[in-house]
Amino acid sequence: MVCEETDLAAFWAAERLRSRGLPVEVVTGADLAAAERWEHRLGRSGTTFALTFAGGERCLHSQEVGGVLNRLSFLPSAWLLRIGGPDREYAIQEMHALYLSWLHALPGPILNRPTPQGLCGNWRHPSAWAFLAAQAGLAVPLYRQSSEDDPAETWQAATEPPLATVLVVGERIIASPVVPEDQHEACRRLARAAGAELLGINFTPVAGDGWGFSGASVMPDLIRGGEPLADALAEVFV
């Protein structure tokens, strides 16, 4: 498990996976920020990495990793808070490049693989999600944007939690019972099109009858999935 130390959903998932007999090591952003030694190699012999954490006794070697629940969306907050000076932006770019590479090199199943647009999956613009969702067959409200708009408005977080969420883990669906089953295959198609092994898809009621797509996240609230989600995650890593 790779996550920020404030990610309660991640710690919940780690505890549920341990209760199912999986040996889970949690590596937090604070751990990574304080890592003493980094070594990442690429070449004829393949790709490896080795991290030595603060204190020198705890290490993480790529060959010892069996699978990862990846909840690190960007560089660790603890590291970002520590750096400054005229080279700060350069250091951020360099470390982001390194994180993208070593996370990509992790062996075994990874939920979700890092992308250049987000270290735990592609953080798409709402328009990109709307397009993919419509292509997947979900009911999507009209999306409009123009040169008269404020671009920042489209990125504003919802003020209310979603009324219904479908969590997709591979081919498994963990859905709120209000979302009809005939939407489940479209949800799988959306996750596949998005390249996300783990995806949270939000729905809101639409006029008349039914539920419409209202957003998606590669870093969903895992707690909403409860024990069925924990079962689905365990299946991936067994």
Partner 1 sequence: MMVADALGAVGADFRVLNQRQIADCSFAWHIEAGLVDGTLRIRTETFRLADIRAAYVRLMDDQLLPELADEPEGSPARRHARAFHDAFYRWIEVAPADIVNRSDPQGSNGSKPYQAQLIAQYGFSIPETLITNDPNAVLAFQQQYGAVIFKSMSGIRSIVRVLAEDDLNRLEQIRWCPVQFQALVPGTDVRVHVVDQDVHATEIMSDTIDYRYARRAGGTVELHAIQLSSDVEEKCAALTRGLGLIFAGIDLKVTPSGEIFCFEVNPSPAFSFYEANTGQPIASSLARYLAKIQPA
Which residue number, 6 or 145, has a Cβ lying nearer to partner 1? 145
Widest Cα–Cα separation across the chain: 61
Taking the least distance from each CB to partner 1, the nearer of 95 and 166 is 95
Residue from 20, 104, 172, 224 in contact with partner 1 (CB under 8 A): 104
Residue with tokens 């790709």, as numbered in its chain: 47
Identity of the residue, 174 or 194, whose beta carbon is nearer to partner 1 in the bound complex = 194
Start-to-end Cα distance in the chain:
14
Residue among 47, 77, 176, 204 that touches partner 1 (CB under 8 A) = 47
CB of 237 to partner 1, least distance (A): 22
Pick the stretch among 16-24, 41-49, 178-186, 224-232 that binds partner 1 (CB under 8 A).
41-49
- Closest CB 57 distance from partner 1, rounded Å: 17
Long-range CB contact pairs, 76-83, < 8 A, 24+: 76/4, 76/28, 76/29, 76/30, 76/32, 76/33, 77/4, 77/29, 78/5, 78/29, 78/30, 78/32, 78/33, 78/34, 79/29, 79/32, 79/33, 82/33
The tokens describing 71, both together, are 């909840």
Three-state secondary structure call for residue 51: strand
For residue 38, state whether it binds partner 1 (rule: CB under 8 A). Answer: yes
Give the one residue of 6, 18, 61, 143 binding partner 1; rule: CB under 8 A. Answer: 143
- Contact between 74 and partner 1 by CB under 8 A: the answer reads no
In the three-class reduction of DSSP (H, G, I as helix; E, B as strand; rest coil), residue 238 is classed as: coil
Shortest spacing between CB 14 and partner 1, in angstroms: 26
Instruction: Give whole-number Cα distances, 35 to 47, 50, 57, 164, in Å.
Output: 20, 10, 11, 39
Among 150, 160, 182, 209, binds partner 1 (CB under 8 A): 150
Q: Which is nearer to partner 1, 89 or 171 (CB)?
A: 89
What is d(CA 89, CA 120) in angstroms, rounded to the nearest whole number? 21
Size, binding site for partner 1 by CB under 8 A: 44
What is the binding site for partner 1 (CB under 8 A)?
A: 37-44, 47, 90-91, 93-98, 100-101, 104-105, 114-117, 122, 125, 127-128, 130-131, 134-135, 140, 142-151
